[in-house]
Amino acid sequence: MAQLERLAAAWHGVLAAGLAGALLPLAFAPVDWAWLAVAAPAVLFYVAAVAPRRRALQAGYVFGLGEFGVGVSWVFVSINEYGGAGPGLAGLVTALLVAGLALFPVLAVLAGRACSPGRTARLLLALPAAWLLVAWLRTWLLTGFPWLFLGYAALDTPLAGWAPLAGVLGVTAVLALLAGAVAWWAAAPSWRRSAYPAALAALVVAGGAAGDRSWTQADGEPLSVALLQGDFAQDVKWDPSQLPRILERYARLTEEHLGADLIVWPETAIPRRFEHVAQPLELLAGQVREAGGALVLGIPYRAGGEDGALHNSVVAFGGERRAVYHKRHLVPYGEYVPFRALFGRSLDFLGAPMADYEPGPPPEALRLGPDLALGATVCYEIAYPRAVRRTAAEADVLVNLSNDAWFGDSLAPHQHLQKARMRAAESRRWLLRATNTGITALIGPRGQVAARSPQFEVAALTGKVARRSGATPYTRIGDIPLVAAAGVVLLGLWLAARYRR
């Protein structure tokens, strides 16, 4: 193994880490080679543990370049094809984003090495704990970019039972521990040492099996639902001349499904402010009510009159009332331009086709009557576990309205659906995902896709879903206990290292 260590400590280790990072996105949808969520970080952990400090940090950065260069390549599609920036500027913006995101694996390597007194502690504890803390950091730093967490790859594996116990970060921690154990064994393979990775794998599978239970219970009659996919390309969707055509299509699809308990349109299904189209929408909602159902749709909404804040909103017509949810977690440059006073209109090619949106107030469940409450999120919010946790316990059903036309035919719609599946598994709720161009889906309370629409087709996805009540352990406690435990581990290792010195 001395030869392998020499290679890992040289430039070969950096190349191996870069290749592992580039392969890691294949662990996620649509490829779903889940084993790479252990194998890829194991390569990086091995190099980080045996290489000199400088080489280890280089390996971390090249790993990040591979991981995000492949995994978020869809950013180029969004900016080039739909932002109108052209391939040169779109490539530059994408490269800068990838270069920034690649610093996160470096931070994990740096923290893992700094806090560990020896190679064994580094691989089995420090690097997995640091990886978890850096993943948590990505959920909020600079508004957050929680993409490509290891835990998403485990949705269709025996480890998925950890989701309602500890969320996607908990599943990420489990996979990072396995990766560290594999790297530790690779550093000096032997039959005796192989017992630890095998025992750890058996333990985490057993934990997943223990967590793979209902946690919540059906409550009331099932709902018949219809999720409408209008399929308007992004360049067509925001053309004002297309508004009558858009209204006509959604009205026709809605009328074809009158009698459903819940009819859901996607994010900004109508690309005009609500007050400009309130009358035809109220008339259509009245038809839905008369047939015994409720209508939920996405639309820009100006709260507080003409001078009020503009929101990316969900409007729900149910019973005799109208409920509104204003998107709270906005996408920088996608829905608003930071430092607008400094940049003016120069960065609008990155932004929404309307004026900057404002974030909404703390969310509450959308109540459509005494027997139905919806936990609503819009588009990218579904990537943030806490955005769903805020209302999951009081919601009967979760709904996510999205417009994935921004992403074209890229990896992003598949990755986005996978995140929605994890939110359903964490909360043990049915999740209704209505999108403009796909992938529209009915997602069961264990994260399974019960039905889905094809992409880039006009479609109406119908089915029955159960209202559920109760809360999972993760819904109740969130991420803080796990993050605190990882912090305590790193602090303890750092103190031990100082004591040894």
Residues whose CB is less than 8 angstroms from the CB of residue 60 and which lie 6 or more positions away in sequence, other chains included: 17, 44, 48, 105, 106, 107, 108, 109, 110
3-state secondary structure of 198: helix
CA angle 78, 84, 85 (to 5 degrees): 85
> How far is residue 189's CA from residue 179's CA, in Å, rounded to a whole number?
15
3-state secondary structure of 322: strand
Sign, CA torsion 467/469/474/478: positive
**327 tagged catalytic:** yes
Q: Which of 81, 379, 419, 426 is catalytic?
A: 379
- DSSP structure string for 463-482: EEE--EE---HHHHH-SHHH
First to last CA, the chain: 28
Q: Which of 432, 425, 404 is nearest to 416 (CA)?
A: 404
| Amino acid present at 313 | S
Q: Which of 67, 81, 327, 335 is catalytic?
A: 327
DSSP state of 27: G
**115 tagged catalytic:** no
**237 tagged catalytic:** no
Neighbours of 406 (CB within 10 A): 26
Q: Which of 267, 335, 381, 426 is catalytic?
A: 267
Q: Which of 193, 156, 149 is nearest to 174 (CA)?
A: 149
Q: Which of 256, 225, 230 is nearest to 368 (CA)?
A: 225
Residue whose entry in the numeric block shows the structure tokens 């095998």: 198
Positions marked active-site: 267, 327, 379
